[in-house]
Amino acid sequence: MRGRRLRDQPETPADYLLALAEGPLPAWPHRRIVWPDFWVPRDRADAIEALRDALQRARDGAFVEVACGGGRGRTGTALAALAVFDGMPATEAVAWVRSAYHRSAVEMPWQARWVRNLAVDARA
């Protein structure tokens, strides 16, 4: 799994892209969710479904990528959410993404709160 900016063209194509912003979409399978810049997803249920689908694809062996405009705020938030759905405590996910992916990931306090609130959804 990797995070990136949507406008960057990766050298190695992924098997699946979860797009979190407007912008170019690849030739490989993808899904876009509505997630305004510096905010959280507009449709929580749709976002959770898309994140769970991306995680299952990764568990099944697909090379999954998550991308937004700058590759930090929304992408970092989504990566932290994926970590929560994969079993990481929600209270640790943001710090982990900032250390493992990018120190500026999950840019806004409400994005971090959104991740922490996923603990209930992670048990479902």
| Closest of 74, 76, 88 to residue 118, by C-alpha | 88
Q: How many CB atoms lie within 10 A of CB 80?
A: 28
Distance CA 8, CA 91 (A): 31
Q: How many CB atoms lie within 10 A of CB 51?
A: 22
Q: What is the pLDDT of residue 119?
A: 77
Domain ranges of the chain: 2-123
When computed from its CA atoms, the radius of gyration of the chain, rounded to whole angstroms, is: 13
Distance CA 67, CA 17 (A): 7
Task: Return the CATH fold of 2-123.
Answer: Protein-Tyrosine Phosphatase; Chain A (3.90.190)
* pTM of this structure: 0.94
Q: How many CB atoms lie within 10 A of CB 123?
A: 6
| Closest of 30, 10, 20 to residue 74, by C-alpha | 20
Per-residue pLDDT of the chain (124 residues; tens, 9 = 90+): 999 999 998 888 999 999 999 988 888 999 999 999 999 999 999 999 999 999 999 999 999 999 999 999 999 999 999 999 999 999 999 999 999 999 999 999 999 999 999 976 655 5
